[in-house]
Structure 1
Amino acid sequence: MFTNKQINLETLPAIDDVALKPISKQYLKIIILNRLLFYGLILSALIFAKFKVMHSNFHLIFVYLFSTVVLFCILNLVGSILAFKKRKFAIREYDVIYSKGLLVNSVSVVPISRIQHLEISRSWIARRFNLATLKIFTAGESGIDLRIAGLNYSEAKQINDFLSNRVNGTD
């Protein structure tokens, strides 16, 4: 006969007890470079518009608009730096844990038994900082289930090899 017993939640292992490891501090440089490039494009477009738009009202509000955009960029950059500190991961015997987020913290846990495919990718700027992104794909889903950016390349290869061995049963 089918039974479905309730589990006592106090007996379950707590994820909070896991010592999560922060990603490489070098990745913060990439985040800052990307943000500054994006902000530079926005501010350049705004300055370009100042010289091309001949409407007098635009010139009256330009200082306020420019100040607002600069304030937004500064707050966004500070938020990105603070959020960076929340990016942490752990590799355990049966799963991979990744935590991120400043205002909304998310913790993803991917069981190793569900992993179908692993991939290491490196952008040109990540190669300059010797960093990589580990992408973990699981069964039954389309797309990446877990993406851990900012790992040292050697560490990403080591994790990839460990997880591949576990998935293929050669561990």
Structure 2
Amino acid sequence: MLQVTNYEPQSTMFKRLARLHYRAAELRRQRKWDTASAVYRTALTLYTSMPPTKEVPSFAAAACTWLNLALTEKNNGHFDTARRVFQDGTRFVQELMQKDLDVWIDGQNRLRSRTVDATSSSEVQVACKWLATLLVAWGLLETKLGFRLRAKVLAERAANLDGSKAKVLSWKVVQGV
């Protein structure tokens, strides 16, 4: 018989977030956008009222929720709301990065820290990838709305944080601005 060792039960917060995300995904499949948005918003309130999950970094879980909420709003045709969600989500993730990792993005979109080592840690790199993913998705929304310059600026910010996002700058939809 196979025995599992070093098994730790999942945290309450993680289980709750997983259930909420699963429920919201079901609602999205059913095209119940408003209800799915409400479920994602419920998940977002947990980030400020419950302890962080031990299974997933807080910035990754939050970025995933903000991204899904923004995409749900976009799918529902609420483009201005989707834009605000992307704005709020990037702000929230950056605040978590500063609080949890002691790093921040300066006015030139460069990663900063009080310690030299912090900006190169794997945790910071993961946080930057999640933030960059939010920025690229936001930029793609802006292209859909006809704001190619905004999209290019967002893609440039994303590329500064995560080099793999630089390829977005070569896409026709953001070129020629």
TM, length-normalised to structure 1: 0.21
- Which one has a bigger Cα radius of gyration? 1
TM, length-normalised to structure 2: 0.20
Higher share of residues assigned helix: 2
Higher share of residues assigned strand: 1
